[in-house]
């Protein structure tokens, strides 16, 4: 867990990645969640369908029904990476009608797209 402050908003950030065996325990972190930041490895074309399944399973959680969604299409700096539109399609983002979401191209290594995504998210949260 880490606290990140951006635009006068404190984010309690939990990295819930990891092995499939620990995923049932994720719901321990769901209460009072106002936003989900979902990071997709855009260079791993083979796993986008698996990522979609995991993503939509999270969206079905009752405690997360009002959470805004920020998706980072990460690793845009790598050759052959899916662009943000392809990641959006792969995740089925256009089917999400009941909450605010946005997707941003990103390269965590280069720091590209990260602030743009946090800017969008902080504006969404401030408007609530």
Q: Is 48 helix (H, G, I), strand (E, B) or coil?
A: helix
User: Sorting pLDDT into bands at 50, 70 and 90, what band is 112?
Assistant: very high
Question: For residue 125, how many other CB atoms are within 10 A of its CB?
Answer: 15
**pLDDT given at position 18:** 64
pLDDT tens readout for residues 56-99 = 999 999 999 999 999 999 999 999 999 999 999 999 999 999 99
Report the distance separating Cα 82 and Cα 104, nearest Å: 12
E-strand spans in the chain?
2-6, 9-13, 35-41, 68-74, 101-105
Residues marked as catalytic: 19
How confident is the prediction for the chain on average, in pLDDT? Answer: 91
Cβ distance 19 to 52 under 8 Å?
Answer: no
Any bridge partners for residue 37, and if so which?
70
pLDDT average, residue stretch 28-39: 91
**In this model, does residue 48 exceed pLDDT 90?**
yes
Any bridge partners for residue 6, and if so which?
9
Cβ distance 90 to 42 under 8 Å?
Answer: no
């Amino acid at each position: 867990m880490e606290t990140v402050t951006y635009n006068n908003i404190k984010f309690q950030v939990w990295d819930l990645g990891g092995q499939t065996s620990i995923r049932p325990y994720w719901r321990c972190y769901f209460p009072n969640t106002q936003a989900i930041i979902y990071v997709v490895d855009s260079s791993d074309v083979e796993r986008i369908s698996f990522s979609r399944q995991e993503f939509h399973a999270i969206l079905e959680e009752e405690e997360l029904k009002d959470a805004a969604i920020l998706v980072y299409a990460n690793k845009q700096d790598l050759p052959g990476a899916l662009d943000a539109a392809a990641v959006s399609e792969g995740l089925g983002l256009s089917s999400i009608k009941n909450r605010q979401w946005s997707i941003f191209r990103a390269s965590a290594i280069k720091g590209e797209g990260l602030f743009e995504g946090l800017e969008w998210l902080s504006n969404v949260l401030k408007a609530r």
